[in-house]
Structure 1
Amino acid sequence: MPGPNRRTLLAAAAGALAAPAAMAQQGWPARPIRLINPWTPGGPADAIARPLSQKLTEALGQPVVMENRPGANGTIGMTAVARSAPDGYTLFFSHVGPVAISPNFSPNMQYDVLRDFAPITQLVSGAIVLVVRPDVPAGSVAELIALARARPGEISYGSVGPASTTHLAGEMLAMMGGVQMLHVPYQGSAPVVTDLLGGRLHFAFINLAGVLPQIEAGSVRALAVSTARRMSRVPDLPTVAETLPGFEVNSWYGMMAPAGTPAAIIDRVHRESVAALRAPELAAQLRNQGLDIEGSSPEEYGRKIRDDLRRWGELARATGIRVG
C-alpha cells in the first residue's frame, strides 16, 4: 500500500499549524484587551477612545482597557503596539500624527507603518479650522493669501508645536498659496488662542471643538475648515480646498492592530467599532466635538493611510522640515 505523497504531507502540516490559530480566533476574546492610546489622559483623544472602549467591552464580553502611552508625538505608544503579539489582545487607537506625519518628518522611526500594522477602520474625521482675529482685513482664504502676498513674512500664525497638524496646515497654506508667513510655535492650543485674542497673532489653525466658543462669540472669525469636505458641525463654513484644490489636513482617529493579527479578529473589531460609532448617544457626542463619523473598511482605511503618507511626504520634501 503506497504511503502518503508529498502534497498530502504538506497539507497535513499546514492544517496542523493552522488549527491552533483557528481555535484561538474562535475563542477570542478570552481575556481583557488593551487599547493603546498614544496621547495624555484627559485630552481630545480620550473623549473618543474612552466611550469607544466601553462600547467594545459591552459588545465583546471582555474588558477593553484603555492604556495611555503618551510621548514623542504619539510614536512611543505606536512603537509599543508594533512590538506586541498579533493575537488580538493589543489594539491601537491610531491618529494621523504618529501614523502618517511623524514617519515623514522625524528620522529614525522605530516602526514601519505599512509593514508593522494592520488597519481596522478610520473612526472619525477631525477638522482644524482657520481663524483670524477680528481686525485682520481678510474675510476669506483668498483674501488672507492676498494679504500675505502684500506683506511677505509679516503675517503670523500660531501652532501647538513644530510638525503638528496646526503647524503643517500653515505650511501647506503658504506653499500652495505661494506666500511667506511667520510661524510661531506654542505648547498647546490655549496660549495660541490667548495670543490670537490678544492681537499678537494674525491667524491660526485650531481644533474645531477647541475654538468653537470663540467663533460663536465673535472673538475670532472663522474662514475655512481643513478637511477635504465640509464638516457637519459647521456646514456653512467652506473648506480651504474650495480655494486651494487638493488642500487637506484631516486630524483623523482610527483603529489598528499589529501586522499579522488574524483577519477574523480584524473583521470583528471593525464590525463592533462601526456599530459603536452608530450608537445615537456616542454619535451625538462625537458630532458635538466637531467630528464626522467615518467607519471605513480596513481596505479603505489602508488607502487613506497610504494617501496621507504620500501627501505628508511631499510637504516634508518641499519644506525640509525635520523634528527630533
Structure 2
Amino acid sequence: MMRPTRRALLASAILAPSIARAQDGYPTRPIRLVVPWPPGGPIDLAARPIAARMAELLGQPVVIENRGGANGTIGALHVSQAAPDGYTLLVASPGPVSISPLARGQAALEPLRIFAPVCQLVSSPSALVVRKDLPARDLAALIALAKARPGALTYGSAGPASINHLSAATLAARGGAEMLHIPYQGAAPLLTDLIAGRIDMAFLGIGVALPLVTQGNARALAVGNLRRAAAMPDVPTVAETYPGFQADNWYGILAPLGTPRGIIQRLHRDAAAAVRTPAVTRAMVEAGNEPAPSESPETFAAMIAEDLERWRDSVRAAGLRPE
C-alpha cells in the first residue's frame, strides 16, 4: 500500500486550515443563482423572492442569472462545470436535471453524478386540465372515453420528454388507453390550442392551470401529486384512481459536485429559512406552489434518487428511445 510522503502530509497540514477558514468565512462575495429558463417563467418567479431573502441571511448578494436554452440543460451543464466553491448554484427542476439525461440515455449526466443537492425549495403540483366542452366530467369517464375511441383523444405538451408529455403518457399507460401526443414548442401555443378546443387535455403546472379553470376556459379533472393540492382542494388526485401515480414538479438548489460540506450545510440552512419566511411562503402559495424545504441535503438527495426512478418509468411508458 502506498504511504503518503512527508511532503504530501505537510501540504495537507498547511492547506487544511485555509480550506476551513474559507468555509467558515463563506460567503465573501456575491453568489450566482442560475435559473436555466428565461425571465418571467414559473421557476424564475419562484426563485427571486427566495434569492432576495437568502441574500439577507447570507450577508452577500444572491444574483439571479437566467441561462435558458435546450429545455434547461444549457444552464444546468454550466453550473455542473463551475468551480465547486459555493458561488455558482442552480435552481433545478426535474426537466433538465433528471428527465433530459434519461430521455437521451446520458447516465453520466444524471443529477447525483454531477451535482451536490443543497435544498428542496417547493413542490409544484400539476393538474390534468381538459377543454371545457369535453364530455368526460371525471378521470374515470376520461379513460373510458379514451378506450372507446383509441387514439382519438389528444394531449398537448411543451415538447417531447417534457414533464407534461411524460405525465400524460404515464396516465394513458396506467389506464390502458391510447391517446395521441401533440408536442408544442413551449407552453404558450399549447395553452392557446387548449382554450380554443383544438386539443383535449394537458397536464399543467397548477399555477398555470388555475386561471384557466377559474375563468371557465378549461376544467380540472385531477391533480398529479399524491395529496390534494391546496390551490384546488376539491379536485381529486390521479392517485385516488390509480394508486401511486405522481406527476408533480419540484424546484430546488443544486451545487457543483465537490462543493465542501460546510458550504452545503450553510446554504441549506439559509435556503430553508428563506422559504419559511412568511412573505416568501405567501408568494409561493399565491403562485400555486407549496413550500417544501427539505430537512437536510441528504433528504433532498434521497428525494431526487426516488424521483429519478419514477421518471425512468415514465420515459419507458412514453416509449422514448435515447437520442
- Counterparts of 2:37 and 2:264, CA distance in 1: 23
Aligned position for 2:53: 55
Q: 1:86 matched to which residue of 2? A: 84
Tell me if the contact between 1:162 and 1:323 (Cα under 8 Å) persists in the aligned partners: no
- Deviation string, structure 1 residues 175-221 (Cα, Å, up to 9, x no partner): 11111001111123232222222221121112211121221122211
CA-to-partner distance for each residue in 1:101-154, whole Å, 9 max, x for gaps?
Answer: 111102457734212211011100111211112322212111111110111100
Partner of 2:171: 173
CA RMSD of aligned residues (A): 2.1
Contact preservation (8 Å) 2:121, 2:275: yes
Deviation at residue 319 of structure 1 after TM alignment = 3.3
TM-score by length of 1: 0.93
- Determine the C-alpha separation between the residues in 1 that align with 2:273 and 2:148: 51
1:1-324 alignment, distance < 5 Å: 14-108=12-106, 111-296=109-294, 297-322=296-321
Distance 1:249 1:6 in 2: 50
**Kept after mapping to 2: 8 A contact 1:163/1:323:** no
**Does the aligned pair in 1 maintain the 2:167–2:314 contact within 8 Å?**
no
Deviation at 1:260, TM superposition (A): 1.3
Q: Distance in 1 between matches of 2:180 and 2:4?
A: 70
- Equivalent AA in structure 2 for residue 175 of structure 1: A
Q: Tell me how far apart the structure 2 counterparts of residues 281 and 186 of structure 1 sit (CA, whole Å).
A: 35
- Kindly state the Cα deviation for residue 7 of structure 1 after the two structures are TM-superposed: 11
Q: CA deviation at 1:73?
A: 1.1
Letter in 2 for 1:191: P
**Residue 105 of structure 1 contacts residue 323 of structure 1 at CA under 8 Å; is this kept in 2?**
yes
Identity of aligned residues (%): 50
Alignment: residue pair count? 320
Distance 1:110 1:81 in 2: 15
Structure 2 segments unaligned to the other structure (5+ residues) = none
- Per-residue CA distance 1:257-296 (angstroms, 9 max, x = gap): 1111111111111111111111111111110111011100
Amino acid at match of 2:33: L
CA contact (8 A) 1:82 1:111 kept: no
